[in-house]
Amino acid sequence: MSGLIWTGSLNDAYRLGGRVGLYDTTLRDGEQTVGVVLDPDQKLEIARLLDDLGVDRIEAGFPRVSDDDWQAVERIAAAGLRAEVWGFSRAVPADLEALVELGVGYSVIESPISDLKLDAIGVSREKMLDRITTAMRFAGEHGIHAAFFGVDSSRAQPDFYRQVYSAAVEAGAKEVVVVDTLGIASPEAVAELVGTTVELVDVPVHFHGHNDFGVATASAVAAVRAGAAYVHGTINGMGERAGNANLGEVALALRALYGVETNLRLDRIREVSARVRELSGYELEPWKPVTGDTLYRRESGAVASQFHDPQSIEPYSSELVATERAIVLGKKSGLDSIRIKADELGLDVPEERRAELLAAVKKLGAEKRGLVTDDEFRALVG
């Protein structure tokens, strides 16, 4: 445990150690967030932010979706990033030919493999298996390092799942992705499926999860425990429906609770989170882990009395995620809140006045149904 993480010894028996890679799909799966549209310039900016953040692999997008997506993939692939730049393709010839034309050397290649999906699109198991193996052979023949991405694989029948993943690797897939497309798998089920896949194939196994039941971070951790080499996710957990696994949360949980390192720079995650939100045009809950606005702001008087000792009221240091701690005033403040805020603002507030000021702060906070600003506090003092 580092000097900035204060989780105690409870988790020691479950620590894993080691390292796992992070695969970011903000620019493809993340942009599928309803109402989010990113142009090629914005995608290139985000790709550079992700690169500086330490993301190992950046999925630049699905070039055949639109001209904008084509341009974005082309520009990101040529940007000289340290991270591996990956494309996204279906197991159809036109998608694969686009990757060759763009010179993208890495790509996930997707195909639905659950009977629910196959029935919905009217394709038989046999026909889909042929598409998959043909696509993997094509990728290999054209120098594309391909990872097979079995859409809805968490709901595929076990016999067909094993057949498809084995055949994909035999046909040339260099890696495979276990995909919980609708976020239906419990963390325990994810661990079993990933573990089974690790035993089934002799190539690196990824996990791609969604957050429909609120367990995407837990499922990503479970996948790592079961042997996943890469975890997929997005900045802020953005994505369709309830979103994807949140890479910042995954990286922090792995490091702080399991001793598993990633290359993600946690001291940059809040800055990147804010910029991606700004470009995408959405807001987050202020109490979000890692990036929330209220993570290190304290209103409670009981907590303010311990504010001088961060380890007593926080599980990890604000330094870890490069943000500031602060006392704010409102209905829930206490006498220590008044003392700390007065000292912070350089105001002379004798001890005998604190109770009077606290009553005034509580009254104003209740009337406003919100926080008392520093200027309002100065006025109350004055």
> What pLDDT, in 10s, does the model give residues 107-135?
999 999 999 999 999 999 999 999 999 99
Residue-level pLDDT at 151 = 98
Q: Are 245 and 16 in contact (CB under 8 A)?
A: no
CA distance linking residue 78 with residue 85, whole number of Å? 9
pLDDT at 1 over 50: no
Nearest-5° angle of CA 318, CA 242, CA 264?
35
Nearest to 229 by CA among 147, 135, 109: 147
Task: Work out the burial of residue 4: count CB atoms within 10 Å of its CB; fewer than 13 is exposed, 13-18 middle, 19 or more buried.
Answer: middle
CB environment 23-40: b (16+ within 10 A), e (fewer): bbbbbbbbbbbeebebeb
Q: What is the mean pLDDT of residues 273-301?
A: 95
| pLDDT attached to residue 77 | 96
Task: Give this prediction's pTM.
Answer: 0.94
Q: With pLDDT > 70 as the criterion, what percentage of the chain qualifies? A: 99
Q: What are 73-106's pLDDT values in tens digits?
A: 999 999 999 999 999 999 999 999 999 999 999 9
Angle between helices 374-381 and 354-368 (to 10 degrees): 140
Phi-psi region of 2 (alpha: psi -120 to 50; beta: other; left: phi over 0): beta
Q: What is the pLDDT of residue 293?
A: 94
Q: What is the pLDDT of residues 68-79, one digit of tens each?
A: 999 999 999 999
Q: For residue 2, what pLDDT is reported?
A: 67
pLDDT in tens, 352-361: 999 999 999 9
Listed in sequence order, the residues at least 6 apart from 43 whose beta carbon sits closer than 8 Å to its beta carbon are: 27, 60, 61, 72, 75, 76
The pLDDT mean for the chain works out to 96
Amino acid in the structure at residue 323: T
What pLDDT digit, counting tens, does each position of 14-61 carry?
A: 999 999 999 999 999 999 999 999 999 999 999 999 999 999 999 999
- Where do the domains of the chain lie? 15-280, 297-381
Residue 230 sits at φ, ψ, to 5 deg, of: -135, 145
Which residue type is seen at 380?
Answer: L
CB 178 within 8 A of CB 190: yes
Residues 83, 225, 175, 199: what is their CA dihedral angle, to the nearest 10 degrees? Answer: 160
Could you confirm whether domain 15-280 is CATH 3.20.20.70?
yes
pLDDT of residue 42: 98
Which residue is associated with the tokens 């949140």?
246
- What is the per-residue pLDDT for 382? 87
pLDDT digits (tens, 9 = 90+) for 318-376: 999 999 999 999 999 999 999 999 999 999 999 999 999 999 999 999 999 999 999 99
pLDDT tens, residue by residue, 206-259? 999 999 999 999 999 999 999 999 999 999 999 999 999 999 999 999 999 999
